[in-house]
């Protein structure tokens, strides 16, 4: 994830270094979570590692780390929810790429899991990554975190990825191919399919930091929901007008799949306005946190001004 040099929301060098450090950190955490000497078969183990490691923006772990650290959590504690959300995110990518879903051959510049291995293995990779996400979040050490807080994290995660959230959004997406949707239906689809796990990532960071007040959690929930939708609208925009060299993938995939997107429904200009409006609403919801919200506001800017 990077912004064009000279763009108005260009992040500070210190901020860029901080999120780069989170990215390097989560690679190590994921690598350890995927050691799996008991993965059933070496093929399943390799396919899980292939799918998770070595690529990806790691936006969701970054949100966990940045939210949690801003609110006072230790990075060693944040490693656990950060890994959980990324494992769940990758499971969803592996299954979305399957022939019966989006039928994609490339992901992050490499063959998709079912192309590099086989379809049965890719189904199992997704299934096992979902279970591993819950195993990590329920079992890995989180020093000083009460059982009740951890249970709440599991509740938030399970709620975010089920029918009300990610899986439901994918069902809407699958049904929408070739159809025209209203702008609000596209927003609902994006809020579920992408937004729910982004919102969850913010909440998990806050819960790991011991935030428990309804007002504070509500404000962070709004931040996550608004910036999650903005992020997906920007994703749709980049699929129309992005630079393939910067994105590391070809553009036009949504149109090729006949997928309703924000730009295809509302137009490009309205999409840019909506993303900026959502970013501003997200940043406004950080007001109760004062200076503690500054880093998240900076990330929100980057999530919308990004060119990759």
Q: Quick one: CA dihedral 216, 56, 301, 13, positive or negative?
A: positive
116 is a contact residue toward its own copies (CB under 8 A): no
Q: Shortest CA distance to 133 belongs to which of 208, 237, 253, 29?
A: 29
- Reading the block at residue 245, the tokens are 């060299």
Strand boundaries in 46-118, DSSP class E? 106-107, 110-111
Q: Contact region for its own copies (CB under 8 A) — 35-43, 214-222, 232-240, 275-283?
A: 35-43
The β-bridge relationship of strands 106-107 and 110-111 is antiparallel
36 is a contact residue toward its own copies (CB under 8 A): yes
Q: Which is nearer to its own copies, 173 or 235 (CB)?
A: 173
131 is a contact residue toward its own copies (CB under 8 A): yes
168 and 178 Cβ atoms separated by less than 8 Å: no
What does the alpha-carbon distance between residue 190 and residue 199 come to, in Å, rounded to a whole number?
12
> Cα torsion at 179, 276, 62, 148 (round to 10°)?
-80
Q: From residue 189, how far is each of 42, 180, 251, 260, 263 by CA, in Å? A: 36, 13, 21, 10, 14
130 is a contact residue toward its own copies (CB under 8 A): yes
What does the alpha-carbon distance between residue 68 and residue 302 come to, in Å, rounded to a whole number?
18
171 is a contact residue toward its own copies (CB under 8 A): yes
Q: Which of residues 133-162 bind its own copies (CB under 8 A)?
A: 134-135, 138-139, 146-148, 150-151, 154-155, 157-159, 161-162
* Shortest distance (Å) from residue 178 CB to its own copies: 14
* Shortest distance (Å) from residue 284 CB to its own copies: 27
38 is a contact residue toward its own copies (CB under 8 A): yes
Q: Which is nearer to its own copies, 62 or 130 (CB)?
A: 130
118 is a contact residue toward its own copies (CB under 8 A): yes
Query: Applying CB under 8 A, what is the total number of residues that bind its own copies?
Result: 56
Residues contributing to the site for its own copies (CB under 8 A):
36, 38-41, 43-45, 48, 91-92, 95, 98, 100-101, 118-124, 126-128, 130-132, 134-135, 138-139, 146-148, 150-151, 154-155, 157-159, 161-164, 166-172, 174-175, 192
């Amino acid at each position: 994830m990077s912004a064009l040099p000279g763009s108005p929301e260009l992040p500070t060098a210190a901020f860029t270094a901080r999120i780069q450090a989170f990215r390097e950190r989560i690679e190590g955490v994921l690598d350890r979570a995927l050691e799996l000497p008991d993965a059933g078969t070496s093929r399943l183990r390799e396919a899980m590692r292939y799918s998770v490691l070595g690529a990806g923006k790691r936006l969701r772990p970054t949100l966990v780390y940045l939210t949690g650290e801003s609110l006072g959590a230790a990075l060693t504690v944040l490693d656990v929810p950060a890994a959980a959300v990324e494992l769940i995110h990758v499971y969803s990518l592996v299954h979305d790429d399957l022939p019966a879903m989006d039928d994609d051959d490339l992901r992050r510049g490499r063959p998709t899991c079912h192309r590099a291995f086989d379809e049965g293995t890719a189904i199992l990779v997704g299934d096992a990554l979902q279970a591993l996400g819950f195993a990590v979040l329920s079992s890995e050490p989180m020093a000083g975190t009460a059982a009740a807080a951890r249970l709440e994290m599991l509740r938030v995660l399970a709620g975010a990825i089920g029918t009300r959230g990610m899986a439901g959004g994918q069902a809407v997406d699958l049904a929408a191919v070739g159809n025209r949707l209203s702008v609000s239906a596209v927003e609902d689809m994006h809020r579920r399919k992408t937004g729910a796990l982004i919102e969850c990532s913010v909440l998990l960071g806050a819960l790991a930091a011991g935030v428990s007040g309804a007002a504070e959690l509500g404000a962070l929930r709004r931040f996550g929901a608004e910036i999650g939708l903005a992020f997906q609208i920007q994703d749709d925009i980049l699929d129309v007008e992005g630079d393939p060299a910067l994105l590391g993938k070809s553009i036009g995939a949504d149109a090729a799949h006949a997928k309703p997107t924000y730009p295809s429904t509302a137009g490009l200009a309205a999409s840019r306005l909506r993303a900026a409006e959502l970013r501003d609403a997200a940043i406004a919801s950080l007001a109760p946190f004062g200076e503690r919200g500054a880093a998240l506001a900076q990330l929100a800017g980057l999530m919308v001004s990004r060119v990759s």
